[in-house]
Amino acid sequence: MPWHRKHLLTIEELKRSEIEQILATAGAFRRILDRKVKKVPALRGKTIVNLFLEPSTRTRISFEMAAKLLSADVISFDAAASSTTKGETLRDTAQNIQALHADMIVLRHAASGSPLYLSKVLGIPVVNAGDGAHEHPTQALLDVFTMREKLGDLKGRKVVILGDILFSRVARSNIHALTKLGADVTIVGPSTLVPHWFESLGVRVSHNLREALADADVVMLLRIQHERQGVSHFPSIGEYTSMFGLNYTRASWVKPGAIIMHPGPINRGVEIDSDIADSDRSVILQQVTNGIAVRMAVLYLCAGGQPEAVTVPVT
């Protein structure tokens, strides 16, 4: 089936078959990462601009790496030194980048919906690298890619997402991806960060960690995002950790073979103890590696590539 989308804005708008197409393409690119020479010419001659208007390290580097491995030229935009600090609007900044003959924009923005807005303003593809508390589609794709790598088909698998759900774009994108792939999703955390509204997205809401972790195949932890919280949503970090932090004892509540995930950056000793983060159950670093392959797939497809055209021999 051919790939038709020009932009990747949300997981919510993707059909299951489109998610499968991206994951299959990412699978092929993932094999490239194990070769001695990791570069392919798929996007040679294309220029991709990383328009990161909100601080990011791993996502920006991951997109840069992905673009470079596809032989694209990459320009990363430093928000602090940009015209946006002089009051230039997002529309003008992006239109200027387009006028400079960029072929694609990867946007990270603090305001939800910004990639959709930009996609209506520009003629070139826009890839969402995280918009406010809305979505972070490539993170969800790399998460489900990693889950499938470890667990196989996700249908009926129990995935627990634990932590700051309210302010998390990762949680939203993962909820959409996982429910489309047939997983059974429970979100858990303090009631102020895990409001009941989320049930409308097809997940179970729980505030009881022990109950939620029982029989979990995947425990995905989320960072407590102090920077997004206007008021205190819980009494203290200490209280949060004592109630919801994943420590050795709590990790024993999940079933054997379950994996522990985290989109990073992790707050060691807050949402996760070091011995769990570094344990053999943890797939946190595999997530990072898989992120390159998934982003290669997304950049490749949005630039007009087709899934079936990616054939990478194992070398």
Partner 1 sequence: MPFLHIKNGRVIDPASKRDAKGDVFIADGKFVKSPTPAQKKSAQVIDAKGLVVCPGLVDIHVHFREPGQTHKETILTGSQAAAAGGFTTVVCMPNTSPVVDNAGTVTLIKAAAAAAPVHVYPTGCITVGMKGQALAPHGSLQKAGVVALTDDGLCVQSNELMHRAVEYAKMFGLSILDHCQDESMTEKAVMNEGVVSTRLGLKGWPHAAEDIIVARNIILSRYTGAHIHMQHISSAHSVELMRQAKKNGVNVTAEATPHHIAFTEEALGTYDTHFKMNPPLRTEADRKAIIAGLRDGTLDCIGTDHAPHAPEEKDREFDYAPNGIIGLETALPVCLDILVKKSKFQLSHVIDLMTRKAADILKLPAGTLAPGATADVCIFDPAETWLYNTYGAFSKSINSPWDKQNLTGRVKTTIVSGKVVYQNGKMLV
Which chain residues interact with partner 1 by CB under 8 A? 12, 89-91, 109-114, 116-117, 131-135, 166, 169, 172, 195, 197-198, 200-201, 230-231
**Is position 146 annotated in a ligand binding site?**
no
* Rounded Cα–Cα distance for residues 105 and 119 (Å): 10
**Is position 139 annotated in a ligand binding site?**
yes
Nearer to partner 1, 65 or 111 (CB): 111
CA-wise closest residue to 267 among 249, 245, 234, 290: 245
Q: How far is the CB of 133 from partner 1 (least distance, A)?
A: 4
Q: How far is the CB of 149 from partner 1 (least distance, A)?
A: 28
| Strand ranges (E), 53-162 | 73-78, 104-109, 126-131, 158-162
For residues 315 and 19, the answer to whether their CB atoms sit within 8 Å is: no
**Is position 58 annotated in a ligand binding site?**
yes
- Helix, strand, coil shares of the chain, percent, nearest 5, are 40, 15, 40
Nearer to partner 1, 81 or 197 (CB): 197
Nearer to partner 1, 166 or 303 (CB): 166
Q: How far is the CB of 164 from partner 1 (least distance, A)?
A: 13
**Is position 89 annotated in a ligand binding site?**
no
Where b means 16+ CB within 10 Å and e means fewer, 145-184 reads: bbbbbbbeebeebbbbbbbbbbbbbbbbbbbbbbbbbebb
**Is position 287 annotated in a ligand binding site?**
no
Q: How far is the CB of 110 from partner 1 (least distance, A)?
A: 8
CA-wise closest residue to 183 among 157, 205, 216, 212: 157
**Is position 180 annotated in a ligand binding site?**
no
Provide long-range contacts, Cβ within 8 A and 24+ apart, for 113-118: 114/90, 115/7, 115/9, 116/9, 116/10, 117/90, 118/90, 118/91, 118/94
Nearer to partner 1, 14 or 74 (CB): 14
**Is position 286 annotated in a ligand binding site?**
no
Nearer to partner 1, 133 or 251 (CB): 133
Nearer to partner 1, 90 or 151 (CB): 90
**Is position 136 annotated in a ligand binding site?**
yes
For residues 216 and 160, the answer to whether their CB atoms sit within 8 Å is: yes
* Rounded Cα–Cα distance for residues 225 and 151 (Å): 29
Q: How far is the CB of 259 from partner 1 (least distance, A)?
A: 26
Q: How far is the CB of 289 from partner 1 (least distance, A)?
A: 27
Binding residues: 58-59, 86, 108, 136, 139, 169, 223, 264-265
Binding residues for L-aspartate: 86, 169, 223
Binding residues for carbamoyl phosphate: 58-59, 108, 136, 139, 264-265
